[in-house]
Amino acid sequence: MDVSGKGVFLTGGARGIGRGMTEALLAKGAKVLFCDLIADLGKAAEADLQKQYGADNVVFRQCDVTDGDQLKGEKFGAVDICVNNAGIMDERVWEKMLAINTTAQIRGSQLALDHMRRDRGGRGGLIINTVSLAGVFPSYFFPVYNASKHAMIGYTTSWAKNPKMGEMGVKWRCLCPNAVNTNLLVFEENQVYDGDKFLEWIKPRMLEPEEVVEAFMKLIQEEEGDGVIYGVFKGLGGVFKKRRLVDADGESNPIVVD
Ligand SMILES: NC(=O)C1=CN([C@@H]2O[C@H](COP(=O)(O)OP(=O)(O)OC[C@H]3O[C@@H](n4cnc5c(N)ncnc54)[C@H](O)[C@@H]3O)[C@@H](O)[C@H]2O)C=CC1
Ligand SMILES: CCCCCC(=O)CC\C=C/C=C/C=C/[C@@H](O)[C@@H](O)CCCC(=O)O
């Protein structure tokens, strides 16, 4: 999709990957309403971005995505692209994590679909859920985070397969980066299991946020390709992936399931 002049709603945009996505979309001429829980960071980002791209093109709202009423109330003209990106990684508060990573992404998708669907007067659109490679592969370091992301792959790909989606005019995609150098990876003890081991294991393949943003922009602008899982890997950029089940020992004997 050509994003120029399009309306975007994006969650978790005050920092990290979401902050970069917001700026990249503005640079291509989109109008962005971004929200976040952290008001001071969000307002600072808004001031900065408005200076560069104009106050009519970018607005910040403080919003807790787990509050359905707050999420519903966010309006900034028509939304052509919805990016459900806010997420946390903290096994100690696993119910809250499911509320943010899964329930809120589902609610955001549902609201966007109702707004966009052509068969009910909307003008179509694109829904992108920021998932993770943790939604595709098992990782013992963070079981609930992993489950929260697996759920979003199931949800997003299921809507994408709906035979009436053509009529509705809405496309669905999952952005699945490998680990990214953001605040999400700064954790306290017990936030994940064997966190130091995870970081040591993942370090050589760790992405910078800009690499993910670049892949995200390709994914948005991609017209073709029915793959809804877009893996982002160090040195490879973004690639459409088929969903695979792997044995308990990891990579051996993957089974292609779609
Ligand atoms: N950093 C990583 O290694 C990876 C991150 N991801 C996913 O990317 C997404 C963005 O994460 P990052 O930019 O890495 O982390 P981050 O921590 O830098 O940014 C996440 C943003 O979401 C916001 N947020 C958290 N809870 C919220 C709530 N209840 N309501 C509204 N906003 C809320 C935070 O305030 C923060 O600004 C998440 O969904 C994460 O799971 C996916 C793969 C790898
Ligand atoms: C503190 C933890 C935060 C977790 C943030 C993430 O979402 C990071 C991603 C989590 C798991 C990543 C698993 C990565 C596996 C790959 O490095 C590789 O094993 C997969 C190979 C893919 C392929 O060959 O197609």
Verify whether ligand 2 is closer than 6 Å to residue 75 (CB atom): no
* Single pTM value for the model: 0.94
Q: Which ligand is nearest to the CA of 239?
A: 2
One pLDDT digit (tens) per residue for the chain, 258 residues: 899 999 999 999 999 999 999 999 999 999 999 999 999 999 999 999 999 999 999 999 999 999 988 888 666 678 999 999 999 999 999 999 999 999 999 999 999 999 999 999 999 999 999 999 999 888 899 999 999 999 999 999 999 989 999 999 999 999 999 999 999 999 888 999 999 999 999 999 999 999 999 999 999 988 765 667 888 999 888 887 766 655 666 655 555 554
For residue 247, the CA-to-ligand 2 centroid distance in Å is: 15
Residue of the CA atom closest to atom 3 of ligand 2:
185
Q: Which ligand is nearest to the CA of 141?
A: 2
For residue 184, the CA-to-ligand 1 centroid distance in Å is: 6
State the ipTM, two decimals.
0.95
Whether residue 107 contacts residue 148, with contact meaning beta carbons closer than 8 Å, is answered with no
For residue 194, the CA-to-ligand 2 centroid distance in Å is: 15
Predicted local confidence at residue 105, as pLDDT? 98
Predicted local confidence at residue 258, as pLDDT? 44
Residue (of 5, 33, 1) closest to 169 by Cα position: 1
Predicted local confidence at residue 244, as pLDDT? 61
Whether residue 17 contacts residue 130, with contact meaning beta carbons closer than 8 Å, is answered with yes
Predicted local confidence at residue 80, as pLDDT? 96
Verify whether ligand 2 is closer than 6 Å to residue 242 (CB atom): no
The answer for 168, left when phi > 0, alpha when psi is -120 to 50, beta otherwise, is alpha
Mutate to test the pocket of ligand 2, among 97, 133, 189, 230 (most ligand atoms within 8 A of CB): 133
Predicted local confidence at residue 254, as pLDDT? 55
